[in-house]
Structure 1
Amino acid sequence: MTQVHKAREALGRRLRELRKDAGLTGRQLAESLAWPPSKVSKLENGRQTPTDADIVGWVRATGREGEAEALLAALHTLEVQHADWRRQFRGGLKAHQNELAAYDARAGLIRAFEATVVPGLLQTDEYARGRLAQGVELFGAPDDIDEAVRARTRRQEILYRRDKKFHFVLTEAALRFRLCPPDVMLGQLDRLIAISALPNVRLGVIGFDDLYGVAPWHGFWIFDRERVVVETYSAELNLAQPAEVALYEGVFDRLAAVASYGRAARAVVTRVIDETPSS
């Protein structure tokens, strides 16, 4: 169970305590708030994240308005840990890119593993355009793709800072998935070869013939030893508990250990280029 799930369940337990202290059944509380009875159960058991309005209504109905501040603080901490994309993109795609740039700026060492896509810091403008368009298509985000692409390009300037270190590990599958037209992908692959020569960047590629020490379930980013970011279809997970960070560090090390680097990595990329049809 992740820390996010634990935090949601802890918040639910506190809400249940307030209801029981008020002598209300779940149905009575739901009726007082004009909610379906199932909503109370979902909130108390951590199966649904409450909104600010839910918290305010709950404490009023149970006569515990004094608990609102602490409960809202717990909710907002949970929202940072589990940031759903619809909420993330309310301010536009550019705003989210600027938030990511702030994470980049604070970290001295950034490690990233990607199984299906090229990492954002390594993307060409055209490849990035396709990836960012997904936010508009899936979540109805404001269509500021041009501004977001420019913001992502500005983020990449950090790759040339000698006080920063980067370690990227990609699967060969990430180089071959057709997420963009062939000519765009060829430009992206050329960029990977160029970036692999930067002195503060380690670029590893796990080829199809390499034996994995741990399954590549999903991509993730590690910022120093303080924070892990995992992107799912629905949300961005931010993990900061030492045990979770240590686990992901161990997984990264095992993935990195089987990757090829330097000339061997560039040879994999070059082979993919040779096998990618031009448009």
Structure 2
Amino acid sequence: MRTSPSSSAQQARQGIAQRLREIRLDAGLTARTVARMAGWHESKASKIEHGRTVPSESDIRAWCAACRAEDQAPELIAASRAADLMYVEWKRLQRTGLRQLQLSKIKMYEQVRHFRVYCSNVVPGLFQTPAYAEALLSSIAAFRDAPNDVTEAVAARVARARFLHEGNHRFAVLVEEWVLRSRIGDAEVMAGQLGHLLAIMSLPSVSLGIIPQDDGRRMWPVEAFNIFDDTLVQVELLTAEINVSQPSEIAQYIRGFNHLSELAVYGTAARQLIASAIAELG
């Protein structure tokens, strides 16, 4: 696994910068000339070419106009917008509250057929009870100073669980054992959540694996991530959501998921770990 999950966004930005440089060279202009024609400081064009400044859509239009390549601006702007979506800070995603972010995921869950999830920190959203989701989203809203629409966000998140019962979906989920013992909410909330996991395991669409914490392991714990078929990986960092669409990176996440799945226990052994966590709640 790569140590920088934002490399797809960085590579996309570098590709846009390189393409702008090629357009300038094809026009026979210097970077200083492009800057002058666009009405910028003389160093701005150089900074854009070398990836030190991210061009706005108006910057791209001005660049292409200076190089008499206006026809190439729409494609470059589309590429720039796609790069913006690769690395999105939570404060941007949650600026209108948590409910809208939950609703924005509905289409993806409707379309996915093989959904692979690795969670190293909390119970996956699809498996959360209302009480657990409320405790978790309340802490997230407080930490990120997001608008407090937790009640509505919980309802939207829990509603997504219908996909566990509807449509032609397969859910392969891996959870680290310490997630079972990390209390989100009080003991009653955790007991309800762990009991819910036991019930979900019986669903034909679900494969739940628990990675024991007391065994030697060949794959270290990594950041939480979701794999949508073989086309998109969403990685959850403290500050941002990473959308990975580059095939080579997706392949690495799939490989990582496969390695982690080999460490997990399933069926009766997984139920025993959950039951043990419930017993520890007293």
Report the TM-score when normalising by structure 2.
0.83
Q: Which of 86, 94, 99 matches 1:94?
A: 99
2:255 equivalent to 1:236: no
CA distance in 2, matches of 1:16, 1:205: 50
Deviates more, 1:49-58 or 1:198-207: 49-58
Are the aligned partners of 1:94 and 1:151 in contact in 2 as well (CA < 8 Å)?
Answer: yes
User: In the TM superposition, what are the counterparts of 1:85-124 in structure 2 within 5 Å?
Assistant: 85-124=90-129
Are the aligned partners of 2:60 and 2:76 in contact in 1 as well (CA < 8 Å)?
Answer: yes
Cα distance 1:162–1:13, how it changes in 2: closer, same or farther (>3 A)?
closer
Which residue pairs with 2:169 in the alignment?
A: 164
CA distance in 1, matches of 2:145, 2:223: 24
Which residue pairs with 1:23 in the alignment?
A: 30
Structure 2 unaligned residues grouped into runs of 5+? none
Which residue pairs with 1:191 in the alignment?
A: 196
Structure 1 unaligned residues grouped into runs of 5+? none
Cα distance 1:43–1:230, how it changes in 2: closer, same or farther (>3 A)?
farther
Q: What is the deviation of 1:150?
A: 0.8
User: Aligned partner of 2:126: which letter?
Assistant: L
Which residue pairs with 1:153 in the alignment?
A: 158
2:214 equivalent to 1:206: no
User: Aligned partner of 2:269: which letter?
Assistant: A
CA distance in 2, matches of 1:56, 1:199: 52
Are the aligned partners of 1:130 and 1:179 in contact in 2 as well (CA < 8 Å)?
Answer: yes
Which residue pairs with 2:263 in the alignment?
A: 258
Q: What is the deviation of 1:58?
A: 5.3
Aligned residues: 275
Which residue pairs with 1:272 in the alignment?
A: 277
Q: What is the deviation of 1:170?
A: 0.3
CA distance in 1, matches of 2:87, 2:123: 23
| Secondary structure in 2 matching 1:188 | helix
Superimposed CA distance per residue, residues 70-111 of structure 1 (whole angstroms, 9 cap, x where no aligned partner): 221111111222232233224432222122121111011111
Are the aligned partners of 2:114 and 2:229 in contact in 1 as well (CA < 8 Å)?
Answer: yes
CA distance in 2, matches of 1:235, 1:118: 19
| Secondary structure in 2 matching 1:253 | helix
Are the aligned partners of 1:133 and 1:145 in contact in 2 as well (CA < 8 Å)?
Answer: yes
Superimposed CA distance per residue, residues 230-267 of structure 1 (whole angstroms, 9 cap, x where no aligned partner): 11122222222332222211111111111111111011
| Secondary structure in 2 matching 1:222 | strand
CA distance in 2, matches of 1:247, 1:147: 36
User: Aligned partner of 1:275: which letter?
Assistant: E
Q: What is the deviation of 1:210?
A: 2.5
CA distance in 2, matches of 1:16, 1:162: 48
Cα distance 1:59–1:108, how it changes in 2: closer, same or farther (>3 A)?
same
- Measured on the aligned residues, the alpha-carbon RMSD in Å equals 3.0
